[in-house]
Structure 1
Amino acid sequence: MDMKAGLKTRIAAMTVAAGSLVLACPAVPAHADGEGQHHGRTASVGGPRLSRPGVQVLRKPGAPHLPSDLSALSWMVSDADTGKVLAAHNAHRRLPPASTLKTLFAVTVLPKLPQQVLRKVTATDLAGVGEGSSQVGIRPGKSYTVADMWRGVFLSSGNDAVHALGAMNGSMPKTIAQMKAKARALGAHDTRVVSADGYDAPGQVSSAYDLTLFARAGLARPDFVRYSSTAVARFPTGRKPNGKATGYFQIQNTNRLLVGAPGLDRYRGLIGVKNGYTSHAGNTLVAAARRGGRTLVVTVMNPQSGAFNAVYHEARSLLDWGFAASGKVSAVGTLYGHRGGAAAKAVHRPVKDAGTAVSHAAAVAVPDDKPPTVWFASVTGALLLGGTGWVLYRRRRTFGGRWL
């Protein structure tokens, strides 16, 4: 074999080996090493556009314009069924979540506790409930079912109910550790959990993207949807050992898109999910609605307009826009909710368009779809390496065997 033929053979072998290596190397997902990593390393989560500051939308001809009165520091509109992000503004910006973090608490703890189990609450169970925080009215020495407590969580945003359920789950520290693990499993790497109930705590943050992931995971559970879509319920003053209530008082959901308020009508088709407020976080809201066979999730964090009920009006405007934009916009990102080796996909059967409609939802496992950018990068890398090897070979032949 002459020198040129041998060189050609070696370059070809090196090119094939390099291309095979690129294709064989698995892509490492952002933040596989833990929770709450630096924002720059979340750039690929959901797609590169979602890491960009400002409004992200890809309108087709005839698509409606986004609402002009949006003032939230961060917001996102997503299709819960397909996982497509229709529009976003600072999707990965880390902000205090307030009680919207209870969505992560719910998707973490709901599967662990049977709904009709009775618990006699102790003072220790309620230790650590933040001063001035929202409560449903759980009292030490009284007994309640798990279902009672979940109504307290979703309707009254009761931190006392969260602490009682956390105690039933083993302890609050254990529950917080599980919430962190759940966030990582869902691909929510902007979130840092310090308090399970969303009470302001140093370093506790989430993002519109992550809160949408939590909501989508919740919508895959009929019990989550049932609680989050309940407008009004009776809460027991306590229960006897046989489970019979000693009395009741009425509680109402604090989500004003669900129950309405002066100057704010109930939103048609709303099926939850959770609102929140603290002086540090401002108003936050994750709202899901279903119309015409489509389920949309809108997350709004900390409107700056100062208008009364701004978080609800802005969420309503974004929901209206999302339904009107059906088929008229291209996705700017994707919701990647990882559960083990599979992505979770929420599947909903049609429900009535009503403020208290309950979605019959189920979770099905589908193959883990890597983001298109991962596949594209792998194939492109192989082609570039192969092309580079061939160009170098040709250039060496052309210029008398010198590398140029």
Structure 2
Amino acid sequence: MRATRRAAAVAAWGVLIASAALARTHQPEVAAAAAAYLVIDADSGTVLAEHDAHRRWPPASMTKMMTVLLAMERVQDRTLSLDEPVRTSAWASRIGGSQVYLAAGETFPLGELLKAIMIASANDAAVAVAEHIAGSSAAFVDLMNARAKALGLADTTYQSPHGLPPGKGQTADMTSAHDLAVLARELMKFPEVMRWAGTPAAGFRNDTLQMSNTNHLVRTYAGATGLKTGYYHESGFSVTATATRNDLSLIAVVLGVPTKPGCFAEAARLMNEAFAGYRMVAAARRAAVVSEVPVAGGTDDRVKALATSDLLVLVKRAEDRGIVVEARVPRLLQAPVRRSQPLGDVVIRRGDQELGKVTVVADRDVEATGWLSWLWNRALSGRTTHSDAR
């Protein structure tokens, strides 16, 4: 009997221990203090939260964001193509760290290597791309620093295309949370980059190697869209993270956190606070129909008024009462109407305070009919004759 009770007590104690261990396993990670951070609205660049945003800090593998930007800008201007072959040098194959194990002489399309950089943070791919563009890593670093200067990244100095820790006698790459946020805004202009950056996992070398995204937020954070992580011992864990919810897109840069889980938790905390405190009012979208305007004396009885650009206004949730969006267009147009003819504006305001506006234009031509058409054609004919006389 005593043996039975003893066995039951041991079993119960084991269940308690197991339950406690399970509870610890599923507890959310606690955000850790960062050396610096910055959160901005990706559309406007408005700063939503910051701490020591210009503090210079080693970006580690986030250095590769500039490597990818330089490559994609050359793809954009058609100097390069994502399909063109890139040959791996012996030096690139031996670079070490995170890699996709390129062999000397091995060739891959540029797009595949850029994808490997964004997903797997592949150092060998970064060096191969750098050498393909500039002939050597050193020459490519000169391009990196020139582009940083052009972007106004005053806190940034590059020493490598990959961001590995410096060797003896070498100098580390340096940047800041501010500069990384500016760089992220540039990268977000390229849909291919954001597609790679937001991919949780992908295959490489005919799927014989599986790449897992180093940015865990793309698997765990609602609305996460990318972008890039960085780590080595001296720099700590860092991330440039992007996320979108309900038309509000954020960039959060977190630098120098002691642990990887703490780094992702801090980025998530900062973005949660920004999403809770702000919202984006999408008053108009480029080429979207804002209203329809009646037309008198024409071949059509109305035209559509189209916004010429996006009209997005960031507002604090605590101050968003009284926001009004209105289309200021004529009640009636007289034919003729010309395609892209300005018709008025879409305005977003709070009371009498105008927060933003965008021009709206006609979506098509509407010719005049009857005597109005005769007058219009006569006026055009006279204008042409007068022009010829000069």
TM-score range normalised by the length of the shorter chain = 0.5 to 0.7
Q: SS in structure 2 opposite 1:88?
A: strand
- The answer to whether the Cα contact below 8 Å between 2:32 and 2:265 also exists between their aligned partners in 1 is no
- The answer to whether the Cα contact below 8 Å between 1:258 and 1:272 also exists between their aligned partners in 2 is yes
Residues 1:69 and 1:273: Cα distance change in structure 2 (over 3 Å): closer
Deviates more, 1:145-154 or 1:292-301: 145-154
- The answer to whether the Cα contact below 8 Å between 1:101 and 1:211 also exists between their aligned partners in 2 is no
Mapped partners of 1:75, 1:348: distance in 2: 28
Mapped partners of 2:203, 2:310: distance in 1: 30
Q: Does 1:74 align with 2:36?
A: yes
Q: 2:240 aligns with which of 268, 275, 286?
A: 286
Higher strand share: 2
Residues 1:200 and 1:293: Cα distance change in structure 2 (over 3 Å): same
Deviation, 1:125, is: 4.3
Q: How many residues matched? A: 245
Q: 2:68 aligns with which of 106, 116, 129?
A: 106
Q: Does 1:183 align with 2:148?
A: yes
What is the TM-score when the length of structure 1 is the normalising length? 0.57
Mapped partners of 1:323, 1:144: distance in 2: 40
Mapped partners of 1:185, 1:309: distance in 2: 35
- The answer to whether the Cα contact below 8 Å between 1:81 and 1:348 also exists between their aligned partners in 2 is no
State the Cα deviation string for residues 39-72 of structure 1 (Å, max 9, x = none).
xxxxxxxxxxxxxxxxxxxxxxxxxxxxx95500
Q: SS in structure 2 opposite 1:200?
A: coil
- The answer to whether the Cα contact below 8 Å between 1:191 and 1:205 also exists between their aligned partners in 2 is yes
Q: Does 1:213 align with 2:213?
A: no
User: RMSD between aligned alpha carbons?
Assistant: 2.3
- 1:313 corresponds in structure 2 to 265
Deviation, 1:270, is: 0.9
Q: 1:322 aligns with which of 257, 268, 274?
A: 274
Q: SS in structure 1 opposite 2:214?
A: coil
- The answer to whether the Cα contact below 8 Å between 1:94 and 1:207 also exists between their aligned partners in 2 is yes
- The answer to whether the Cα contact below 8 Å between 1:81 and 1:347 also exists between their aligned partners in 2 is no
Mapped partners of 1:163, 1:203: distance in 2: 16
- The answer to whether the Cα contact below 8 Å between 1:120 and 1:141 also exists between their aligned partners in 2 is yes
Q: SS in structure 1 opposite 2:158?
A: coil
- The answer to whether the Cα contact below 8 Å between 2:138 and 2:160 also exists between their aligned partners in 1 is no
Residues 1:347 and 1:221: Cα distance change in structure 2 (over 3 Å): farther
Gaps of 5+ in 2: 1-29, 75-79, 281-308, 313-390
- 1:276 corresponds in structure 2 to 230
Deviation, 1:248, is: 2.9
Mapped partners of 1:207, 1:219: distance in 2: 18
- 2:53 corresponds in structure 1 to 91
- 1:158 corresponds in structure 2 to 122
Q: Which has the higher contact order (CA 8 A, sep 6+)?
A: 1
AA matched with 2:152 = G
Q: SS in structure 1 opposite 2:130?
A: helix
Gaps of 5+ in 1: 1-67, 237-244, 260-265, 329-345, 350-404
Mapped partners of 1:291, 1:175: distance in 2: 36
- 1:258 corresponds in structure 2 to 218
AA matched with 2:232 = T
